[in-house]
Every structure is written in C-alpha cells, then in structure tokens.
Amino acid sequence: MYWNEEIECMDKEQMRKLQSKRLIDTVRRVYENVPFYRKKMEEAGVTPEDIRSVEDLHKLPFTTKMDLRDNYPFNTFACPMEDVVRIHASSGTTGKQTVVGYTEQDLEVWAECVARGMTSLGVTKKDRVHVSYGYGLFTGGLGAHGGAEYLGATVVPASTGNTSRQVQMLVDFQSTVLCCTPSYALYIADEMQKMGITKDQLNLKFGCFGAEPWTEHMRAEIENKLGLEAHDIYGLSEIMGPGVSMDCTEKDGLHIHADHFIPEIINPETGEVLPEGEKGELVFTCITKQALPLIRYRTKDLSRLTWETCGCGRTLPRMEKVTGRCDDMLIIRGVNVFPSQIESVLLEYGQVEPHYMIYVDRKGLLDTMEVHVEMTEELFSDAVRNIEAQEKKLRQRLESVLGISAAVKLVEPRSIPRSEGKAKRVIDNRKLV
Ligand code: DLL
C-alpha cells in the first residue's frame, strides 16, 4: 500500500501554498537553464519575479508539442545530460518523435504517483501485477512497472503481443491486476473465449486501463468479461507517462497529483482559463520535474476539473475521463498517430499524389487503418504487379514510421473527393460505445 495521506488529503489552501513555492522554483530554474524558455518568457514580457504564486500562472506562455519538436531531441531539458538516467519518446506530429527525459528523482516521483494511484483503487503489495503495455520508448510498460514495484507488488512484465500466451500466464500465475489498454483488455477476453478459458479460472481483481479513450460502457463490458474492477489511468509522456491521474474506488473522476502537476482547463480557441467545472483543453505545469519541467503544456485532451473532496476522502483535484481531443491525433491500438505523419511518409515516398484518405475502423476488437492514396499517372499506366509492389513498400515504410501496421491502397488519379474548404483526411468509423 502506498498512501501519502498528508499530500492526498491536504487542505486546499496548503496545497496552493505548496504549488506556489514549487512553481516559483521551477520558473526560475527553466528561465536560467533552458534558453528556449528564457526566450519564450522574454517574448511574452514575463520574468521569474512576476510569478509570485499559482495565481500568476496564467501570465506564463503555453508550451506545445511543436516546441518540443523544434528543440529536438534534448534542448528543452533543464538539467545536465549526465543527470538524465532514462529517455522515452512518443509520436510527434511529423517525422520526429517527441523525446522526454528523466532524472533519478523524476523516476522516483513517477513511480510514487503510479503507486499512489494503484493504492487508491485497492492494489497492495500482496498483488501480482501483469503489465501488458508496451515496454520500450513508450512510457506505458515501464511506467506501470515502476509504480507496481514501488508498491512492493509482484510485477509480471509481459509487454504486448502473443495474446494466447498472455492468457495462459494469467491463468498460471494467478495475477490479480491487469495493466493494458482497454481495447487490449477486451481482446484478451475474446482470446480467453477462443481458448475455452472462463474468468473464474483467472484471479483478476483490478485493471488499470488507459493510453486511449474509453467509455463507461466499455468499463462495464470489461468488468463483466474479466470479472474485475476496471479503473482509468491517464497520462502523457511529456508530463511523465501513465499515472498523471487515476481513478480510485469511487470511479468518480481521476485524481491528479497536484503536488507535482498543476492542472488548468482552457478554451482551446482563445487560450483563456476556464472556471472550475467547465469543459475545455487540459493544460499541465510540472512543478517538481528536474529533466523536463514543462510549463503550461497543452495536452489537446478535453476534460473538466473539480476540486471537490472525493468520496474516498482525497482532496486532490479530479479530472473527468478524457473522451476526446481538440486536434486530429488518432489513437490506434494504443499508438498515437497524427495524419500529418502519414502525409510526410507519402510525400517523401514519391510516385503518389498528395491526395489521400485515412479510413479507421474497429473490426471485431481491433482497430484497423487503411490509407488510400492516389498514384501518379505514370504509375497508374504501369503493370498491376508494379503497383502492388509499391503498395507493399509504402506499407512497410508507414509501419516503420508509425509503429503500427496500416493497409495501403493505391487508387486511380483524381478518385479521392476534393474538398472546397478544409480537407477531410480521416474517416473514423469506430464507435466508442
Ligand atoms: O499514452 C501514457 C499512458 C500509458 C497513459 C499507459 C496511460 C496508460 P502518450 O503515448 O504520450 O502517453 O500519449 C498520451 O494518450 O494525451 C491522451 O490523448 C491519450 N491518453 C492517455 N491515457 C488516456 C486515458 C501515454 N486514460 C495521450 N483516457 C494523451 C483517454 C488517454 N486518453
């Protein structure tokens, strides 16, 4: 059990004081150590002296994914490289990934946040935690792993893939907690059915599901199929990874570790801060991170906040389940994909025209993606065999850039509908129910 009562039940006024102190330190640190931040603040006409408490947060400029790309890979880091002990990455909007770094202390805070969240939903050191998030540059695997280990639980680092083997492990090891994307949880349930294994043969009690949007309806379905309590875990690499917030036994919003991250909700069009309870874009400011303390980072995720004390007794602010974004990022089988990444692959490849359409669907339980792109007149008049060979090459290229497979179909020149206004590039037929 990892229960930090002093922080998790801290009186609001005291929390604001703690946040203010940490914010002041962080702003000074990034101003002194990160040329990018100094420039950004100078341009906005703010100095560290202008930031005297959390009330002044709104004076600071926002940070975006584009800023991270422009400073690729390490120029946003606020500590010497020799203090960075781990690197992770997530999808960028085009060719380059978004790179994030952690010091030893950052990793400890991360593990503590995940451990706090797991404790809030009932996990203890007696539990056996099966982690089926991907390990590697993605933060899911090592993030959930670190938290479960910090708690003293037994971790099974299963990672992704080979679902029948995962099911067998769940039966053999009698793991009590499952960490994976909600769609993979349903996939596991489906695989169990195929293998003739019932939920009674498993010993699952809790699930920590996240990395993609899911609904209350899916929660009920997963709970029913796997016989566990399904909980939501939210996070993003830029801020930390999984565990920025998680829902507790009450399942009434996700608790944000406000002693490490200050949340705000803004109007995505105007940037104006919205009052408590209104829906808008989530923005986080990291106030304890050493390697990458992002200031007012725009997540593009839509949610709302409440500071009302939760039924579980925690006073930490809660965010509503994220079910949408205010940009065009797609999450396909848990992997973030920007249409602009696909576009750069197509344009770089040649032999095709810059007219394409991305079809996303959910076949059975798996997300699928098919990219239709117009071929050039020359290719069109070529032999069918050559066209097929080009489709295959493009498919391989897309897979290596996106990290997930996508079908590719080369279509006749001028067959994709042109639009008169904003081009519609994505048709997402998945229904989140
Ligand atoms: O997906 C971190 C993570 C791993 C969270 C495992 C939870 C579990 P990124 O790859 O940087 O990090 O993607 C972050 O994924 O901005 C959201 O749009 C989406 N997302 C993450 N968790 C949730 C969730 C990880 N629980 C982006 N509900 C975020 C809805 C989520 N969307």
pLDDT digits (tens, 9 = 90+) for 324-364: 899 989 999 889 999 989 988 998 898 898 889 999 999 88
Among 138, 182, 215, smallest CA distance to 333 is for: 182
Q: Name the residue at shortest CA distance from atom 21 of ligand 1.
A: 211
Q: Name the residue at shortest CA distance from atom 28 of ligand 1.
A: 213
Among 236, 238, 327, the mutation site with the greatest number of ligand 1 atoms within 8 A of its Cβ is 236
Q: Ligand 1: which residues within 6 Å by Cβ?
A: 90, 133, 139-140, 143, 210-213, 232-237, 241-242, 299, 301, 322, 325, 331, 336
State in Å: Cα 241 to ligand 1 middle: 8
State in Å: Cα 210 to ligand 1 middle: 6
- Index of the ligand 1 atom closest to the CA of residue 138: 10
Exposed/middle/buried for 61, CB within 10 Å: 0-12, 13-18, 19+? middle
State in Å: Cα 336 to ligand 1 middle: 9
The pLDDT of residue 421 is 67
**pTM across the whole model:** 0.92
Q: Write the CA distances from 37 to 41, 77, 79, 268, 326, integer angstroms.
A: 6, 10, 13, 22, 25
Among 246, 243, 267, smallest CA distance to 255 is for: 246
Helix or strand holding residue 259 (H, E) = none
Where residue 423 falls among pLDDT bands split at 50, 70, 90? confident
- Index of the ligand 1 atom closest to the CA of residue 133: 6
**CB of 189 closer than 8 Å to CB of 195:** no
Average pLDDT over residues 194-202: 97
Task: Tell me the average pLDDT of the chain.
Answer: 95
State in Å: Cα 89 to ligand 1 middle: 13
Q: Residues 6 or more apart from 374 whose CB is under 8 A from it? A: 352, 353, 355, 356, 410, 411, 412, 413, 414, 415, 416
Average pLDDT over residues 169-174: 98
- Can you tell me which residue has the tokens 């917030």? 245
Among 267, 307, 305, 300, smallest CA distance to 58 is for: 267
State in Å: Cα 53 to ligand 1 middle: 29
Where residue 323 falls among pLDDT bands split at 50, 70, 90? confident
